Amino acid sequence: QVQLVESGGGLVQAGGSLRLSCVASGSIFSINDMGWYRQAPGQQRELVAVITRGGSTKYADSVKGRFTISRVNAKNTVFLQMNSLKHEDTAVYYCNAEVIRTAMEIFQTPKAYWGQGTQVTVSF
């Protein structure tokens, strides 16, 4: 089994900053892409940012220039630094990881795992 645990959410004023962390643990051989998604009330879950094992990144247009995704492969950890937060960033943020659990799975499609979510609330 693989578990993803997020931390770092909370309440912040508009213009403020938060840093989210997500640690993957369990039966892990390696992790391909890791990413952050968010879901606001009444809306679909959307991609915020994703980072490959090699460090290539992709961001939603709405967060470019304000959010930075990074990871530490040796610690199976991904971060999301969020600056200049806006009220519209309010959502539950979920961590995602594409996990290869054993060496025998290396040529198979990695399995996607999700964290339980962490609430980010940005006040006006």
- What is the pLDDT tens value at each position of the chain, 124 positions in all? 999 999 999 999 999 999 999 999 999 999 999 999 999 999 999 999 999 999 999 999 999 999 999 999 999 999 999 999 999 999 999 999 999 999 999 999 999 999 999 999 999 8
In the block, residue with structure tokens 């879901």: 39
What span, in angstroms and rounded, lies between the C-alpha atoms of 89 and 87? 5
Q: Which residues contact 50 (CB under 8 A, 6 or more apart)?
A: 33, 34, 35, 36, 57, 58, 69, 96
> Could you tell me if 35 and 48 are in contact, meaning their C-beta atoms sit under 8 angstroms apart?
yes
